[in-house]
Amino acid sequence: MGEELADDRPDFVANGREWRTQPLWGIGLIATVNDHTFFLHDGRARNIEEAILWHGGEAESSKQGFVNLEKEQRGQLIDFINSL
């Protein structure tokens, strides 16, 4: 997760900088089912793009790949994620 998302609370064998990634299937229905689009373990991301940008640690290279995409490509990726 990286330092920005760490809560320093260990849980079983995970330390406070590790979280299980939730499966992405059904993610596009979050707003419909839950009447909100808050993401991450604590709801601090208001949308999928913010959730991606909050990541660091092992996900830093994936986040940078997203950041380096053209605006249209980022939109297409978000649309794809919302279609899951």
Q: What pLDDT is attached to residue 12?
A: 76
Q: What pLDDT is attached to residue 20?
A: 65
Return averaged pLDDT per consecutive 10 residues of the chain, 84 residues in all: 70 71 87 92 90 88 96 97 94
Backbone angles phi, psi at 55, to 5 degrees: -70, 150
Burial of 74 (0-12, 13-18, 19+ CB in 10 A): middle
pTM strictly above 0.75: yes
Q: What pLDDT is attached to residue 2?
A: 64
